[in-house]
């Protein structure tokens, strides 16, 4: 299991990949959506399986209720989330959907500890509210109709489900196992949707720029970011880890500076300051269950193959 500091770095880097994908995703605006997503998750799954085998990480077949948790992660965090972003953009400005994602830290801080068998912490809840407010300020607020608000709510629930539904299976499957199983399930679902909606030959219509964009999303935003994120959640807990989602909007703003040459205005800097404040408050204290005594109790099982974690959304 990662140390606290390494887990924070892992979660931050994972969210940085997610935030940096904003410009790249625009390349796929005219591509066959379901087919592109199927390719993205299929490539990511292949990379994850290869990484697990070369690094000696054991991948386990899901059993019993684990299937439902993993399918739930794929349906919410991969399928519903991406569909909601596309459909929602037709009824709401991007800022509305971004603010919905910005509220996720509060949900993780409130519900994550419950799934982990402990009570939510007031300090983390307060920090989550500050981080969410800061992310909302960075993203700004936009206009939407009623349908757009429903899609924004779907984005929020789906993004929260990506983390929360993985908590019960992280202990046995580890970050690599959860990532492998959810990506192949997501790829299968999108492949079926793509064949029905776009035809079996839709992949042949993808151009070079679109294939490069899919490659980046598969490697950075999926294979790498998924394992980094779940490694962080496994070590810190869903609540504290959720605070690090505030890194994504800041990275998106900085990416716009590098790629588009736009200079951030005062709201971006003010929101970033709030996010930093929330992270400082929420990550300052070690969470219950991650005390030295707790770590000592976990050491005898850390060397088992199924408990190992690797160093590498979301959604």
Under a CB-based contact definition with an 8 Å cutoff, are residues 226 and 21 in contact? no
What are 104-152's pLDDT values in tens digits?
A: 999 999 999 999 888 999 999 999 999 999 888 887 777 888 998 899 8
Quick: pLDDT tens for 226-276.
Answer: 999 999 999 999 999 999 988 888 887 777 666 666 666 777 788 889 889
Residue % of the chain over a pLDDT of 70? 86
Give the C-alpha separation, 312 to 94, whole Å.
29
First to last CA, the chain: 23
Q: For 203-229, what is each residue's pLDDT tens digit?
A: 999 999 999 999 999 999 999 999 999
* Total Cβ atoms within 10 A of residue 141: 13
Please give the structure tokens belonging to residue 118: 């402990």
> For residue 201, which phi and psi values (nearest 5 degrees)?
-100, 15
Tokens, residue 26: 């625009």
Gap between the Cα atoms of 49 and 96, Å rounded: 36
- CA distances to 30, 90, 106 from 149, in Å: 24, 11, 18
- Residue 76: pLDDT band with limits 50, 70, 90: very high
How far from 231 is each of 10, 263, 307, CA to CA, in Å? 7, 34, 11
CA distances for 115 relative to 8, 21, 118, 153, 238, angstroms: 21, 30, 8, 22, 9
Distance CA 133, CA 103 (A): 8
Q: What CA–CA distance (Å, rounded) separates 88 from 94?
A: 8
Q: What is residue 288's predicted lDDT score, i.e. its pLDDT?
A: 46
Q: What is the pLDDT of residue 2?
A: 80
pLDDT tens digits, residue range 15-71? 888 877 766 777 787 899 999 999 999 999 999 999 999 998 899 999 999 999 999
Q: Residue 261: its pLDDT value, please?
A: 65
- Helices 146-164 and 66-73: crossing angle in degrees, nearest 10, is 140
User: Quick check: 103 and 248 in contact, CB under 8 A?
Assistant: no
**CA-CA distance, 246 to 131, in Å (whole number)?**
6
Burial 4-42 (b: 16+ CB within 10 A, else e): beebbbbbbbbbbbbbbbbebeebbeebbbbbbbbbbbb
Token pair for 177: 């196992």
């Amino acid at each position: 299991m990662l140390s606290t500091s390494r887990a924070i770095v892992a979660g931050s880097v994972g969210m940085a990949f997610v935030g940096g994908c904003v410009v790249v995703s625009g390349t796929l605006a005219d591509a066959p959506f379901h087919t592109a997503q199927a390719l993205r998750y299929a490539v990511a799954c292949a990379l994850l399986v290869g990484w697990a085998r070369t690094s000696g990480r054991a991948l386990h077949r899901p059993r019993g209720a684990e299937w439902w948790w993993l399918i739930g992660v794929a349906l919410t965090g991969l399928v519903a989330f991406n569909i909601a972003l596309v459909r929602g953009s037709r009824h709401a400005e991007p800022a509305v959907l971004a603010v919905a994602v910005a509220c996720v830290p509060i949900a993780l801080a409130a519900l994550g500890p419950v799934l982990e068998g402990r009570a939510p912490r007031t300090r983390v809840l307060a920090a989550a509210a500050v981080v969410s407010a800061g992310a909302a300020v960075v993203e700004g607020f936009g206009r939407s109709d009623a349908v757009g608000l429903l899609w924004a709510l779907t984005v929020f629930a789906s993004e929260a489900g990506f983390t929360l539904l993985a908590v019960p299976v992280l202990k046995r499957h580890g970050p690599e196992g959860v990532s492998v199983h959810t990506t192949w399930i997501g790829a299968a679902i999108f492949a079926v949707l793509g064949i029905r909606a776009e035809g079996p030959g839709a992949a042949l219509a993808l151009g070079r720029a679109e294939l490069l964009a899919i490659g980046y999303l598969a490697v950075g935003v999926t294979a790498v970011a998924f394992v980094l994120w779940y490694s962080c959640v496994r070590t810190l807990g869903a609540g504290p880890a959720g605070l690090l989602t505030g890194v994504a909007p800041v990275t998106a703003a900085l990416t716009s500076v590098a790629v588009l040459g736009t200079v951030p205005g005062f709201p971006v800097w003010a929101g970033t300051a709030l996010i930093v404040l929330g992270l400082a408050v929420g990550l300052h204290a070690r969470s219950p269950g991650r005390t030295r005594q707790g770590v000592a109790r976990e050491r005898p099982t850390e060397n088992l193959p199924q408990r190992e974690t690797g160093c590498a959304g979301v959604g």
